[in-house]
Amino acid sequence: MCIFCKIVKGEIPNQTILEDENFLAFNDINPTRKIHVLIIPKEHYDSFDVIPPNIMSGMTEFIQKVALKLDVKESGYRLITNIGKDGGQEVHHLHFHLIGGEPVGRLVR
Ligand code: 5GP
Ligand code: ZN
């Protein structure tokens, strides 16, 4: 079972920000910004590449609620999802990184 499925099952502890029947948001164990939250579906999907659009629709609504809870609606934030090898994905359970709480900077090469 993957590490995020273990978090969903409560086998690995997490700092929960928001949860409902289908989705979970929790603090990244190794935060890269003042706010660094991971948002996942409770059901396992390997990545964004394979998530059914109807699940993604619920995910969108949930992410917007997380942003409200984190009070970043006005200041703004960045959402990232890494996909596969070139995307730099390390945990193969779909997750969005929500980072913010400070200016996150530009995407540079
Ligand atoms: P990826 O590179 O797959 O997009 O990002 C995986 C993220 O999961 C990383 O930012 C990493 O810090 C985080 N992470 C890995 N293992 C754990 C864990 O056990 N608990 C939490 N809260 N975050 C984790
Ligand atoms: Zn999983």
Rounded CA separation 57/87 (Å):
22
Ligand nearest to the CA of residue 95, numbered in listed order: 1
Global pTM? 0.98
Q: Which residue has the tokens 């934030």?
A: 77
Nearest atom (ligand 1) to Cα of 81: 4
Residue 33, domain member (yes or no): yes
How far is Cα of residue 93 from the mean position of the Cα atoms in its chain? 10
**Separation of 33 CA from ligand 1 center, angstroms?**
14
Asked if the ipTM is above 0.85, the reply is yes
For residue 90, what are its two tokens? 């390390």
Domain count of the fold of the chain: 1
pLDDT at 20: 98
Query: Looking at residue 43, what is its pLDDT?
Result: 98
Domain enclosing residue 31, as ranges: 1-10+24-75
pLDDT at 109: 93
CATH of the domain at 44: 3.30.428.10
Per-residue pLDDT tens listing for the chain (109 residues): 999 999 999 999 999 999 999 999 999 999 999 999 999 999 999 999 999 999 999 999 999 999 999 999 999 999 999 999 999 999 999 999 999 999 999 999 9
Ligand 1 pocket, residue 24 CB under 6 Å: no
What does the pLDDT read at residue 6?
A: 98
Contact 42, 8 (CB under 8 A): yes
DSSP per residue over 23-83, as a string?
Answer: EEEEE-SS-SSSEEEEEEESS--S-GGG--HHHHHHHHHHHHHHHHHTT-TTT-EEEE---
Establish if 94 belongs to a structural domain.
no
